Structure 1
Amino acid sequence: MSVLLLAPVLAVSPRVPASPTGAWQAHADYEVRDLDWQDAERGRAVPVKLFWPKAARDGQVPLVVFSHGIGSSRDGYTYLGHYWARHGIASIHLQHVGSDRALWQGNPLQLVARFQRAAGESEAVARVGDQRFALDRLLAGEWGAHIDRARIVAAGHSYGANTTLMSAGARVMRHGKAIWLRDPRVTAAIVISAPPFYGDDDFRPILGGVTIPTLHVTTADDIIRIPGFGSGVEDRLKVYEATGGAQKVLAIYKHGTHNVFTDHRYFDSQDVSTQVKQATEELSLAFIDDAYGADRKEMNDWTARHRDLLARYVAQ
């Protein structure tokens, strides 16, 4: 099997009630909207959830383009979208139709095969295409004038973290050819629980060309287990260490499973789930400010507040 990335995470897909397509959900400081886009050129649906700060009407705001883990959806990480929007940051959460929650449907005996196909090279490339299409569509539409194009962040969890790294400049060799899908509009990246790149022992040639600011988040218990494949926190560290760039941050929490970063709590206590999510929200905001020229005070304050949660923290 020739695959570009391998990041299957066998977590229960969240069952979040969907809002009527295109209808705004109004909050005090922001709005949320489900949009069912279609990339006609690729013949591929690209459903998204857009979190839009009301402050954007009066000026320009940063934008986060978020990719979910395998088997999830645009509804899988909404706590981050709500948090960013409350703090004046827009975000668009993609649903990658070739590796989304539809994988859970069908014959249970074929589940592993479906996940392996979803982690294949063609879907890995298609996911980056989804990011590019959604960004094209957003910037060209009614929202484009209110987005600060110098502050566009790619972010993702698990398989979505690999997607993010590809948009950020990862270069993978397959069949003697380089797969390089860098999107120059992406100027910072948030990488949560990134699995290894399948079939490659040395990540430096892959990730050394990622030179934009990166935030890497994981836990000491961040373990992926599926039949025939396992990946522990040591792989997250290899990804961090191999990533290039003069500005990168690593945060490892003491507790929390691989799925603690999703909307729902499956294998973690309520306290661990709440603490890790809240800390990650705050860290992502401080990182975005730091990546675009703010002083490091917010990052330092975050470290002081959450010292007891951390197994390791490195900022350079």
Structure 2
Amino acid sequence: MKEGKLNEQEVVDITHHQAVNAPSAVLSVSPVIISAPERGEDIQLRVSAPITGNQLPVIIFAHGYGSSLDGYAPLVNFWAANGFVVIQPTFLDSRTLALSPEDPRTPLIWKFRVEDMKQILDNLDFIEDSVLGLKGRLDRDRIAAVGHSFGSQTTGMLLGARIIAPDGSLGEDMSDPRIKAGILLTPAGKGGKDLSPFAAEHYPFMNPSYAEMTTPALVIAGDKDISPLTIRGWDWFTDAYTLSPGADWLVTLFDGEHLLGGISGYLVTETSDENPERVAAVQQLSLAYLRSALYPEDSSWATARKEFNERSNPIGKIEGK
């Protein structure tokens, strides 16, 4: 990738599960610490970047509930090796911080998450200075947000989604115009009567309105993702696509469960649907989507869609509005 432009040799080959352009070596640094006294804990980051290249686009990544900056290596390493700078915070719900349920911050963890992501954007100069060799290499005009599970709610709010309060009013707009595109991996669907009794009692913030999510986005879900958080089936995880004017594409992975084959880490025991082919699909399709979303002249997403939908042994399908 040179000077923020992609050439024809840099399209993605879904059929063979690898990028046509040779991946770059990656530098990964952690923890990079952002002071956040109002949060009660400094924000710890992992920053992963290719060791060569300039005008590099940026992904800020929101982990799922309980994870940390050390998670999701199958995605983060792949994106960085293919030309993105990936920034991963550890949120307050991380098991590594062991925040007590009685902690006064706990009910607002969802909001702290969104504010953490914005603080990252506010501190890009500091992040560049903290990682040897990164100074001056970020493209501030090409920033995307990606999240998985709880992280998808975080990402969705940065793209314009809002929280519906118990009284039915619409919560504050926490969107950020610096983010030009997003990917929501298994995002929670509608709240209210669609929630299970347990979720309604313990997660009152899980009541999104996607009508205001106008930033372009890709949604990825698995058709075997059955959650205790909802009384509905797997289609609950497609609401962000169905109900949002910004989410223009939906990938459904056949037999995919909540971790989409194992995106949360290499050899993690929490993966119940381990499937390297499914992980490769998430890697390739997310990369292709972001390339085309951030570089409108790039055809990676069109190429990826065509090849994925025309597979002789389909592992999923792609739909668009």
Report TM bin, short chain: 0.7 to 0.9
The residue type paired with residue 94 of structure 2 is: D
Matched, 1:101 2:95: yes
SS across alignment from 2:238:
helix
Return the match for 1:160 from 151, 158, 164.
151
**CA distance in 2: counterparts of 1:103 and 1:218, whole angstroms:** 29
Shift of 1:306: 8.2
**Counterpart for residue 77 of structure 1:** 72
**Counterpart for residue 237 of structure 1:** 238
Give the helix-richer structure, 1 or 2: 1
| 1:84–1:205 Cα change, 3 Å | closer
Shift of 1:172: 2.4
The residue type paired with residue 137 of structure 2 is: H
**Counterpart for residue 185 of structure 2:** 192
The alignment's TM-score, normalised by the length of structure 2, stands at 0.75
SS across alignment from 1:244:
coil
**CA distance in 1: counterparts of 2:208 and 2:38, whole angstroms:** 32
Shift of 1:144: 6.2
Shift of 1:166: 0.4
The residue type paired with residue 67 of structure 1 is: A
SS across alignment from 1:180:
coil
**Counterpart for residue 314 of structure 1:** 319
The residue type paired with residue 199 of structure 1 is: G
**Counterpart for residue 31 of structure 1:** 27
**Counterpart for residue 288 of structure 1:** 290
Shift of 1:239: 2.0
Shift of 1:196: 2.5
SS across alignment from 1:190:
strand
| 1:47–1:306 Cα change, 3 Å | farther
Return the match for 1:125 from 107, 111, 114.
111
Shift of 1:255: 1.4
| 1:269–1:178 Cα change, 3 Å | closer
| 1:169–1:54 Cα change, 3 Å | same
SS across alignment from 1:88:
coil
| Aligned residues of 1:223 and 1:230 also touching (Cα < 8 A) | no
The range that moved more, 215-224 or 172-181, is 172-181
Question: For 1:195-274, what aligned pairs fall within 5 Å after superposition?
Answer: 195-199=188-192, 206-225=209-228, 232-245=233-246, 248-259=248-259, 260=261, 261-263=263-265, 264-268=268-272, 270=274, 272=275, 274=276
| 1:215–1:28 Cα change, 3 Å | closer
**CA distance in 1: counterparts of 2:245 and 2:292, whole angstroms:** 17
| 1:105–1:128 Cα change, 3 Å | closer
Please, which runs of 5 or more residues in structure 2 have no aligned partner? 1-22, 195-205
**CA distance in 1: counterparts of 2:52 and 2:311, whole angstroms:** 28
| 1:144–1:303 Cα change, 3 Å | farther
SS across alignment from 2:42:
strand
Give the strand-richer structure, 1 or 2: 1
Matched, 1:182 2:156: no
Shift of 1:139: 3.9
**CA distance in 2: counterparts of 1:200 and 1:180, whole angstroms:** 23
| 1:139–1:300 Cα change, 3 Å | farther
| Aligned residues of 2:189 and 2:238 also touching (Cα < 8 A) | no
CA deviation vs aligned residue, 1:228-272 (integer Å, no higher than 9, x gap): x55632211222100112x621111111321343212534354x2
**CA distance in 2: counterparts of 1:188 and 1:43, whole angstroms:** 30
**CA distance in 2: counterparts of 1:248 and 1:218, whole angstroms:** 14
**CA distance in 2: counterparts of 1:76 and 1:205, whole angstroms:** 25
The alignment's TM-score, normalised by the length of structure 1, stands at 0.76
Shift of 1:188: 0.4
| Aligned residues of 2:49 and 2:81 also touching (Cα < 8 A) | no
Question: For 1:18-97, what aligned pairs fall within 5 Å after superposition?
Answer: 29-34=25-30, 35-56=32-53, 59-97=54-92
